[in-house]
Amino acid sequence: MSSRFVVGLDLGTTNSALAYVDTGAGKDAKVVTLPIAQVVAQGAVEERPLLPSFLYLPGEGEQPAGALKLPWDAKRDYTVGEFARAFGSQVPTRLVSSAKSWLCHPGVDRRAPILPTRAPDAGARKVSPLEASTRYLKHIAEAWNDSIAKDVADNRLEVQDIVLTVPASFDAAARELTVEAARAAGFENLTLLEEPQAAFYAWLDRTGDEWRKQVSVGELVLVADVGGGTTDFTLIEVGEEDGSLALTRLAVGDHLLLGGDNMDLTLAYHASQALAAKGARLDAGQMVQLTYACRGAKEELFARPELQSAPVTVLGKGRSLVGGSIKHELTRADVVRVLVDGFFPECPRDALPALNRTSGLAEVGLPYVADAGITRHLASFLSRQAEALANREAPSTGKKKKAGAPAPTPATATGTPAAVLFNGGVFKGDPLRTRLLSVLGDWARAAGAEPTRELPGADLDLAVARGAAYYGLVKRGKGVRIRGGTARSYYIGVETNMPAVPGFAPPVKAICVAPFGMEEGTEADVPSYEVGVRVGTEAEFRFLGSTVRREDPPGAVVEEWEGQIDELAPVKTTLEVTGAAPGGTVVPVHLYSKVTTVGQLELWLQSRDGKQKWKLEFNAREGK
């Protein structure tokens, strides 16, 4: 039975939010947001539209008794939200931030207590990225239950139909861990949705039937989503079906750890240089404080166009801090110059971002991109998709283009967007939107198309949560659906059987197990290809994916795949042996796959005689 409420939940890098629809309201049912109760100062709780995704873990005696109490927990010894962000910036060794970015970092154990990264190894309170994400979700559930559910068990958040958003570019392991965090928070009925698609759903909801007047058949719409920690690009095509407009998600970009956090750090470095020129040199802890201060000043300048500058303050060193604060005035002109030219540089359509850092040694940390130029990453994304888009299947029918069919519009043929929908707090800065529109316009004119236009009506803070709630209604048969299935083709790596050659590893073939656009709830048999699987001992399975190979059917064998197919996080597991077969036995199997409703790709290995089968699971759902 469907729940009364349909809930959209945005678990963001910098801020989280919740929106919902009360289906019990009948014709008056609409998407609304939930103000989330949180500690905003010592002993003070207020409702705010956003829950900052920060976790503060105070040391013993650091906060007075009751300072972190909540209406539903008077003894809470940690806090998430506004006070965590504000006070925690002064004690960075006790502040967890960017947990979502750590959750998708394949280079660390995401279930290990590694946050805060600045905390000492001995005696400090630490949590894993998974635990931090779970605490954010639990806080939102507690706030909902205190405000909405009251004492009605059927109204508790944990039993509602929840659409939880993830970056379009999250890899399989990160999606799996996001689901795990949601399960740990008690959520039972869960669906994943890409954040850029959620933003587009919110735009559909806000514009009503008017959206059909703002786009035309054959146009590509770019969703440019630049949040606190990540940048995501998605292309949606406007097609036609039975005389009506239809929407199909065609492509998503790579996972880019690049966003508002990088911008805040950049402003902090520029401010520190100005302070150093005046004789004030900051240590590492003060630089963290300065970064948070620059974030606040940036947000204030973007929110209040009449301001020409905003102050940033850093606590002085030593025990006596009275009168020892270090102050700097961050001007609007400096903010615009640093962020526009640094992150949205003018560049040609064929520009490529720098891919590698040159240092042989680097600190262990988040895998930030080497190039801060968002426009260069966008150019690379569009260039990579252009050929695939030119040869794509027709979205309205699922059939390939016929010979003699009308040529696509210049914008579609070259992968140049006709329109852009902005999402993410970064785009609150008018100069940033203006620059990106200018660059897109230059590319469009060079391709012989009209300049790219902005789709109005975006809700930069709450669109993802609101769109996720709207999608919950779409799943119940109400509203406009964006089609697309999986945004990648998925493969498993199979080692080539060949004699040993000193110094050379056997080549790995990529076997397609899930074609591009595979819909949830469907299965794909991998015909006529038998492989051997080692059972009874730990083995590593190499998963791969491609956003540009759209024609590979299940069972397609790709031998030369570098450049078109990318490695995903591998899965290490031991397939239990049955019968008397010893460990390490190689069993001949064939493969078949299924995309579940939650978005996990189940890959089944079935023995030749059909008596044994094993399941490998990784999350493949790219939203719909």
| Domains delineated in the chain | 5-192 (3.30.420.40), 211-257+369-461 (3.30.420.40), 260-343 (3.90.640.10), 489-619 (no CATH)
Separation of first and last alpha carbons in the chain: 22
Tokens of 247: 């929407």
Beta-carbon count within 10 A of 341 CB? 12
In degrees, to the nearest 5, what angle opens at C-alpha 24 toward C-alphas 19 and 26?
A: 100
Is residue 321 predicted with pLDDT exceeding 80? Answer: no
Tokens of 315: 């606590």
Peptide bond into 64 cis (omega under 30): no
Name which of 432-446, 447-461, 548-562, 601-615 the model is least confident about.
Answer: 601-615
Indicate the Cα dihedral angle 146, 151, 152, 156, nearest 10°: 30
Helix 430-446 and helix 332-343: axis angle, to 10°? Answer: 30
CA separation for the pair 79, 136 (Å, rounded): 10
CA separation for the pair 90, 99 (Å, rounded): 18
DSSP helix/strand/coil, 82: helix
pLDDT at residue 399, as a whole number: 42
Burial annotation 257-272 (CB, 10 A radius, 16+ → b, else e): bbbbbbbbbbbbebbb
Whether residue 199 contacts residue 135, with contact meaning beta carbons closer than 8 Å, is answered with: no
User: Which amino acid does the sequence have at 318?
Assistant: G
Query: Exposed, middle or buried: residue 304 (CB in 10 Å: 0-12, 13-18, 19+)?
Result: exposed
Is residue 215 predicted with pLDDT exceeding 90? Answer: yes
Helices within 373-499 (DSSP H only):
374-390, 410-413, 430-446, 463-475
- Residue 458, C-beta contacts closer than 8 angstroms, at least 6 positions apart: 199, 202, 203, 421, 422, 423, 427
- Residue 581, C-beta contacts closer than 8 angstroms, at least 6 positions apart: 535, 536, 587
pLDDT tens column, 13-38: 999 999 999 998 888 889 999 999 99
Split at pLDDT 50, 70, 90, the class of 582 is low
Q: Token pair 């930030």 is at which residue?
A: 368
pLDDT at residue 77, as a whole number: 95
Alpha carbon of residue 28 to chain centroid? 32
CB < 8 Å & 24+ apart, contacts of 149-156? 154/3, 154/4, 155/4, 155/5
Bin 242: left if φ > 0, else alpha if -120 < ψ < 50, else beta.
left
Tokens of 568: 């995903």
**319 or 536: which carries more pLDDT confidence?**
536
Name which of 371-385, 401-415, 431-445 the model is least confident about.
Answer: 401-415
> Taking Cα atoms as reference points, which of 496, 491, 493, 492 lies closest to residue 507?
496
Is residue 185 predicted with pLDDT exceeding 70? Answer: yes
Pairing mode, strands 489-495 and 543-546: antiparallel
Q: What is the largest CA-CA distance in the chain?
A: 80
Whether residue 464 contacts residue 10, with contact meaning beta carbons closer than 8 Å, is answered with: yes
pLDDT mean over 92-105: 90
Beta-carbon count within 10 A of 539 CB? 14
Name which of 155-159, 218-222, 255-259, 407-411 the model is least confident about.
Answer: 407-411
Tokens of 394: 């027709």
Whole-model pTM: value is 0.87
pLDDT at residue 398, as a whole number: 40
Indicate if the alpha-carbon torsion angle 124, 127, 133, 135 is positive or negative.
negative
Per-chain mean pLDDT for the chain: 86
Beta bridge mates, 233? 224
Tokens of 49: 């539209």
Rg (CA), the chain: 25
**603 or 133: which carries more pLDDT confidence?**
133
Is residue 106 predicted with pLDDT exceeding 80? Answer: no
Q: Write the DSSP symbol of residue 406.
A: P
pLDDT tens column, 517-526: 888 788 888 8
pLDDT mean over 212-234: 93
Half-sphere exposure of 451 (CA within 13 A, CB side): 9
Beta bridge mates, 316? none
Q: What element of type H or E holds 603?
A: strand 600-607
**436 or 537: which carries more pLDDT confidence?**
436
Whether residue 337 contacts residue 315, with contact meaning beta carbons closer than 8 Å, is answered with: no
Q: Length of the chain in residues, anyone?
A: 624
CA separation for the pair 257, 252 (Å, rounded): 15
Residue 153 dihedral angles phi and psi, to the nearest 5°: -60, -40
